[in-house]
């Protein structure tokens, strides 16, 4: 009896947490169907008094908005692909190879996890400015590719792969790169999904870095463009909510497609 009560209690708590988490998303979507004057009106209304599609239609017909969506998607996909391959190769080195000062460099990688990302924004900006990368697509992709956390997660996964697979490959004449490419990569789908989704979300939701480095409207990222949405009276909240709703759709679709692998990757990588 106590176990049944406890089980139902956890379900109720889980439902409440899910409802609280999802409520802002539903409100955002509903606000996109409202007139601008009704979004922040008092008393609060969850559903619009008059349903309008104008905000969504205008955005989908706006070349700047659609270009920003496409460019952000391109940047996120390219960066995620590079992050997976580059960080997985670094993880393989730390997981399987032996070389002098290996422990020192691994400690150095771990120590970088404790550096707040905000603390390196200005140094990173100075570096890319001196490299003449401002207002280029490269400044949106390259600075975030190397990630100590991703190397750590993939390394933890690689440590669980039996060494017998490598030994058999060595006997068959495979070199290190072939072992990495034909054995480790195919086995790494769960952790790659975890790393890929977190990386994709990071680039998709990026705001501060694009604002610092991009002033060319043709290169605006989607969150940057939404931050600049204004009407003659100030912020056009109805349009912002509609744009934010559209911007959330790719993320939701990505999660629904890979949620099984994502949960498996979290379990295997040892995240509690």
Per-residue DSSP letters for 197-208?
HHHHHHHHT--H
Q: Phi-psi category of 4—alpha, beta or left, where left has phi over 0 and alpha has psi -120 to 50?
A: alpha
Side-chain-side CA neighbours of residue 271 (13 Å): 15
Least confident range from 49-53, 153-157, 173-177, 259-263: namely 259-263
Q: What percent of the chain has pLDDT over 70?
A: 91
If one compares 99 and 259, the residue with the highest pLDDT of the two is 99
Which range (102-106, 153-157, 267-271) has the least confidence?
Answer: 267-271
Quick check: 93 pLDDT over 70? yes
The confidence score (pLDDT) of residue 233 equals 52
How many angstroms separate the CA atoms of 15 and 18, rounded?
A: 5
How many Å apart are CA 177 and CA 184, to the nearest integer? Answer: 10
Residue 45: per-residue pLDDT: 78
Least confident of 38-42, 137-141, 170-174: 38-42
Topology classification of domain 64-228: MetI-like fold (1.10.3720)
Q: Single out the residue of 214, 227, 195 nearest to residue 139, CA to CA.
A: 214
Strands 234-235 and 230-231: antiparallel
Rg, Å, the chain Cα set = 23
Per-residue model confidence as pLDDT tens digits over 157-213: 898 888 888 888 888 888 888 889 988 988 888 889 889 999 999 999 999 999 999
Q: What is the domain partition of the chain in residue ranges?
A: 64-228
Whether the pLDDT of residue 134 is over 90: the answer is: yes
- pLDDT greater than 60 at residue 269: no
Please give the pLDDT value at position 272. Answer: 39
DSSP string, 122-149: HHHHHHHHHTT-TTSTHHHHGGGS--HH
Residue 226 DSSP label: H
Mean pLDDT taken over the chain: 86
Q: Is the pLDDT of residue 114 over 70?
A: yes
**CA distance linking residue 166 with residue 169, whole number of Å:** 5
Backbone angles phi, psi at 220, to 5 degrees: -60, 135
As a whole-number percent, the residues of the chain with pLDDT over 90 amount to 36
Higher pLDDT among residues 14 and 202, named by residue: 202
Position 230 scores a pLDDT of 65
Q: Would you place residue 140 in the very low, low, confident or very high pLDDT band (cuts 50, 70, 90)?
A: very high
Euclidean distance between CA atoms 240 and 263, whole angstroms = 32
pLDDT of residue 10: 76
Residue 143 · residue 209 · CB < 8 Å? yes
DSSP state of 113: G
pTM for the full predicted model: 0.85
Q: Are 213 and 125 in contact (CB under 8 A)?
A: yes
**Share of the chain residues as helix, strand and coil, in percent rounded to the nearest 5:** 75, 0, 25
Question: pLDDT-derived band of residue 132, with 50, 70 and 90 as boundaries?
Answer: very high
Q: How far is CA 110 from CA 15, 48, 148, 173, 177, in A?
A: 37, 50, 7, 34, 25
**Residue whose structure tokens are 């009704």:** 38
């Amino acid at each position: 009896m106590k176990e049944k009560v406890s089980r139902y209690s956890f379900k109720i708590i889980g439902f409440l947490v899910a409802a609280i988490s999802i409520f802002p998303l539903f409100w955002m979507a509903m606000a996109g169907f409202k007139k601008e004057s009704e979004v922040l009106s008092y008393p609060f209304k969850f559903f619009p008094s008059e349903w309008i599609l104008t905000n969504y239609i205008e955005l989908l017909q706006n070349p700047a908005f659609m270009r920003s969506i496409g460019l952000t998607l391109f940047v996120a996909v390219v960066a995620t692909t590079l992050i997976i391959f580059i960080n997985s190769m670094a993880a393989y080195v730390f997981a399987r190879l032996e070389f002098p000062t290996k422990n020192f460099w691994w400690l150095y990688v771990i120590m970088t996890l404790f550096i707040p990302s905000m603390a390196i924004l200005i140094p990173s900006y100075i570096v890319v400015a001196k490299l003449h990368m401002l207002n280029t697509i490269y400044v949106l992709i390259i600075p975030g590719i190397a990630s100590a956390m991703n190397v750590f997660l993939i390394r933890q996964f690689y440590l669980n792969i039996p060494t017998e697979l490598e030994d058999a490959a060595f006997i068959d004449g495979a070199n290190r790169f072939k072992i990495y490419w034909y054995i480790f990569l195919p086995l790494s789908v769960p952790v790659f999904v975890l790393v890929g989704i977190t990386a994709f979300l990071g680039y998709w939701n990026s705001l501060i870095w694009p604002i610092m480095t991009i002033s060319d409207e043709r290169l605006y990222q989607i969150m940057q463009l939404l931050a600049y949405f204004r009407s003659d009276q100030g912020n056009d909240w109805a349009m912002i909510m509609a744009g934010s709703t559209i911007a959330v759709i790719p993320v939701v679709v990505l999660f629904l497609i890979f949620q099984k692998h994502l949960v498996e990757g979290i379990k295997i990588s040892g995240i509690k």
